[in-house]
Amino acid sequence: MTEHAAPASLKPDVTLALDTATPWLTLALAWPGGSVQVSREVGRAHAELLPGAVQALFAEAGLPLRADAVVIGTGPGSYTGVRVGASYALGLGRVWSAPVLGVSTLEALVGGDGVQGVSLDARKGNVYAARYDVRGGVVHATLLAPTRLPLGEFQAALDGAPHRVDATPDGLALLRAGLDHGARDWALAYL
């Protein structure tokens, strides 16, 4: 079991979260007093749609195009998709002089509280899967680190815990996880 610790003294005014590891383009923006998120199915068009979607999100929020922190979903998922999102997030972080915090894409799939499993299709009867202890809508502990398994093995490992399959990633869940325990020293999850 891995307990999660918060990044030291990170309380940004504006935070952007993005995830491109799945067929969904998932974005969230939070600032003091408000938040907005969008998830839309884009297939493999993340690279073409991501810049405009980020601009539209800031416009919807009525904020200038600038964040104090960026949270990136690090996968697992589409090999090209995770690289598109990571490259874009790192570019924004550099331009804005903002930290880029990595968190597993699977954490954006959690719902509610308690022990639960989440999985995404990894093709050929396999899933990208993890099992978490969720408290207050944020992953408190990782009980099974993100991995690639045959679906049957993962279902057996759940030990009766609820299981969310191929849910749409939740941008605000990703954002909260990033601010709660996102790693500054992260790597993409190529499982």
Asked whether the beta carbons of 4 and 181 are under 8 A apart, the reply is yes
Q: How far apart are CA 106 and CA 78, in angstroms?
A: 13
Q: How confident is the model at residue 56 (pLDDT cuts 50, 70, 90)?
A: very high
Of the candidate CATH numbers 3.30.420.40, 3.40.630.190, 1.10.1270.20, 3.20.20.80, the domain formed by 2-111+168-181 belongs to 3.30.420.40
pLDDT at 4 (0 to 100) = 54
- Closest to 15 in 3D by CA, of 90, 58, 68, 53: 68
Asked whether the beta carbons of 108 and 132 are under 8 A apart, the reply is no
Task: Locate 155 and state its tokens.
Answer: 């279902």
Alpha-helix runs per DSSP H in 74-170: 79-96, 151-157
Mean pLDDT of 74-102: 96
> What does pTM read for this prediction?
0.88
Over pLDDT 70: what percentage of the chain? 94
User: What are the extents of the domains in the chain?
Assistant: 2-111+168-181
Task: Locate 71 and state its tokens.
Answer: 């949270």
Q: How far apart are CA 80 and CA 92, in angstroms?
A: 18
pLDDT at 104 (0 to 100) = 93
Q: How confident is the model at residue 6 (pLDDT cuts 50, 70, 90)?
A: very low
Q: How far apart are CA 127 and CA 44, in angstroms?
A: 19
- SS3 assignment, position 43: coil
pLDDT digits (tens, 9 = 90+) for 109-129: 887 889 999 999 898 989 999
pLDDT over 90 at 137, yes or no:
no
pLDDT over 90 at 50, yes or no:
yes
Average pLDDT of the residues of the chain: 90
